[in-house]
Structure 1
Amino acid sequence: MSRATETCSSAGILGCGHSLPAATRHNDDPVFNRLPREPGHTGAFDTVDFFTGSQERRHLCDGEPIETHMADAALAALAQAGMGPGSVDRLYGYASVPDHITPNALYRVHHVLGLPREALVVPVNSEFSNFLTSLVLATEAVASGSARHVLITCGSNWTRHLDYSKGHAFAAGDAAAAAVVGPAGLMRVVDHVTQTHSDQYLSMTMAIRSVDIDGHANLPLDQRGLPTPVYSMEAAGSEVYQSLLLNGLPDLVNQLLASNAVDSSQVSLITHQGSRRLLDHWAEAIRPGAYLESLHDLGNMTLATYPVNLSRHFTSITTPYVVLAAVGTGCHLTALLLANHPRAKASQAAPPKPP
């Protein structure tokens, strides 16, 4: 039995929820006009001939805050768990990209939900594994008796922070999702593993930087007229994507399964979803019983990808295990093994899910 099994066996997810912006963006949207589309274009990795698989994604409209969706997702998760905001002892998660260096908008979510003043707020900035890291911390807090109910909510507004001349921007979508962790959860953390490749610290970064438009350097500004951060994945990030992430993620998942004597056919898998090529490769390398992904209709929701897909399928997953496998900046890989209890969930009255 793993250390995580011994300490966290009674704590797990009681309910999930998600919220998506109403606005949609398709492949012919004018925002993609600056993307190089020719196969084999110089620097081919960073063109849409690699980042394929998305047909539709959701995006925030001007003035639409991601924290509104984070709060809506949280309310749906609380409702499914059968409790109200007053029962929350801690709030974990992250709003990304935040409007301010500090505070994170997670504090705004605390206010909108009307959580108790005594509820500890813990912003977890571990892009893109924020939900996974929060789930580990929440499980440990509940298992230790430090908290009884922990709410996790993560939201992504990354469509506002991309250079749309870069192929990795092609799949981007916005979303938010949440989960409630408490005693005797319906989906429980069994074990987790992580690898940190800090030698690739600068492979993927979000910073204030200029964007080249028609040969001119432009500094993107937000609605307040202030410089806004832009994500970059240059040569080093491309190499990491095609080597470490491509093969490192399935190796880590298979290591996790082997150490817990779980066959991949017993697993429903949720991973990062930036590219159809990656998803197909990971499916072949891991061979899960089910692969729960939404690249075609929701694109790459960065940190929200994992909880959104978990929420969409939470009450219908029938495999005895679920694996969440994240890639992230820093550079790191994280995988969680969850034990699923479908019979208990089948008896739970689930409220209607957001669209």
Structure 2
Amino acid sequence: MTTRAVVVGCGHYLPERIVENSEFEDSLDTTDEWIRSRSGIERRHFAAEGQTTSDMAARAARNALTQAGLEPGEIDAIIVATSTPDLTFPSAATMVQADLGMTSGFAFDVQAVCAGFVYALSTANALVLSGQARRVLVIGAETFSRIMDWDDRSTCVLFGDGAGAVILEAQEDAGTPQDRGILASDLNSDGRHRDILYVDGGVSTQSTGHLRMQGREVFRHAVEKLAATAEAALAKAGATADEIDWVVPHQANIRIIQGTAKKLGLGMDRVVVTVQDHGNTSAASIPLALSVGEARGQIKRGDLLVTEAIGGGLAWGAVVLRW
């Protein structure tokens, strides 16, 4: 028998404010058609004034706990993937822990920008397999609206806020690719490309900064690297692209999503797409898509999924799991 980290619950939270593309037309040289044609995005959600990343993360966590039929005290660890924490420290994860009323276990953040949830999922899997935790709450949450340059039409129209969460639980299975749970992961980074996607501020520079991106360069790296990491993770899992039921990608840009699916030899009918409604929510995008995909009836128990993402760093990776 083999221990697997199995998803036993998922949930998400989106702020109440919905921002349609047309809202940008009054302040920027852009149009709804321009945004849609280049990104596939139609709308996104923005956090309310005073609403924080940890608040959204806790709301998504509660929804995942409810679906799993678990109480906060039954969770051993919390990992929050975010690049937009409430404070420099303590971690957003410890704030979620307090919000949920947990007085035991441990909590910490992971920062790998848009690839953050993939990194967090892989880390949670390692905690389960090593026996350090039986149940891990893994959350992706972002308030990217706080770091936008509202005069830069190439970036500010792309991003949104939100949170998604999954709960992993240690379960025993046969040790084959037919097992439920995380079957394999593949993580990568290359700091030489830091200048194509970054925030031009931070604690040691004593400024908040804004997101900066060289869109064409990011696109060029994204399709190739996302397909390669997905294939590497599939090989580790002993599976092939033909066996995939759903690709659940980072929701950055519909053209990147389409290009990656094509490289994997998959039709878009096997890809969960939410970018039109959420925009790019960075580390929150994959867990949001997982939760929405399940709610839609697309993702079902026993389905083989591949999640893949790339973000600033550059950092990228993929996880293969059976739902």
Aligned to 1:82: 69
Please report how far the alpha carbon of residue 51 of structure 1 lies from its aligned counterpart in structure 2 after TM superposition: 3.5
Aligned to 2:211: 231
Aligned to 1:262: 239
Please report how far the alpha carbon of residue 55 of structure 1 lies from its aligned counterpart in structure 2 after TM superposition: 1.0
Is 1:153 the counterpart of 2:130 in the alignment?
Answer: no
Aligned to 1:10: 4
**Paired residues of 2:196 and 2:218 also in contact (CA < 8 A):** no
Is 1:203 the counterpart of 2:196 in the alignment?
Answer: yes
Could you tell me which of 205, 225, 244 is aligned with 1:248? 225
The more displaced of 324-333 and 165-174 is 165-174
Task: List 4+ stretches of structure 1 deviating above 4 A.
Answer: 35-39, 47-50
Aligned to 1:285: 263
Please report how far the alpha carbon of residue 295 of structure 1 lies from its aligned counterpart in structure 2 after TM superposition: 1.1
Is 1:128 the counterpart of 2:122 in the alignment?
Answer: no
Sort the Cα spacing of 1:154 and 1:31 in 2 relative to 1 into closer, same or farther, 3 A: farther
Aligned to 1:52: 39
- Give the length in aligned residue pairs: 307
Q: Secondary structure at the match of 1:167?
A: coil
Sort the Cα spacing of 1:32 and 1:12 in 2 relative to 1 into closer, same or farther, 3 A: farther
**Paired residues of 2:41 and 2:279 also in contact (CA < 8 A):** yes
Give matches, 1:314-353, under 5 Å. 314=294, 316=297, 317-318=299-300, 320-340=303-323
Aligned to 2:175: none
Please report how far the alpha carbon of residue 311 of structure 1 lies from its aligned counterpart in structure 2 after TM superposition: 1.3
Unaligned residue ranges in structure 1 (runs of 5+): 1-5, 40-46, 210-225, 341-355
Please report how far the alpha carbon of residue 35 of structure 1 lies from its aligned counterpart in structure 2 after TM superposition: 4.2
Cα separation, 1, equivalents of 2:68 and 2:62 = 10
Cα separation, 2, equivalents of 1:179 and 1:78 = 9
Aligned to 2:282: 302
- Larger Rg belongs to: 1
One-letter amino acid of the counterpart of residue 162, structure 1: M
Cα separation, 2, equivalents of 1:283 and 1:83 = 35
Q: Secondary structure at the match of 2:119?
A: helix
Over the matched positions of the two proteins, sequence identity in percent amounts to: 23
Please report how far the alpha carbon of residue 48 of structure 1 lies from its aligned counterpart in structure 2 after TM superposition: 4.3
One-letter amino acid of the counterpart of residue 134, structure 1: A
Cα separation, 2, equivalents of 1:189 and 1:36 = 42
Sort the Cα spacing of 1:249 and 1:33 in 2 relative to 1 into closer, same or farther, 3 A: same
**Paired residues of 1:48 and 1:168 also in contact (CA < 8 A):** no
Measured on the aligned residues, the alpha-carbon RMSD in Å equals: 2.7
TM-score by length of 1: 0.78
Sort the Cα spacing of 1:109 and 1:49 in 2 relative to 1 into closer, same or farther, 3 A: closer
Cα separation, 2, equivalents of 1:57 and 1:113 = 27
Cα separation, 2, equivalents of 1:32 and 1:12 = 47
Unaligned residue ranges in structure 2 (runs of 5+): 173-178
Aligned to 1:138: 124
Aligned to 1:218: none
Give the structure with the larger helix fraction: 2
Please report how far the alpha carbon of residue 168 of structure 1 lies from its aligned counterpart in structure 2 after TM superposition: 2.6
Sort the Cα spacing of 1:313 and 1:162 in 2 relative to 1 into closer, same or farther, 3 A: same
TM-score by length of 2: 0.86
Cα separation, 2, equivalents of 1:296 and 1:280 = 13
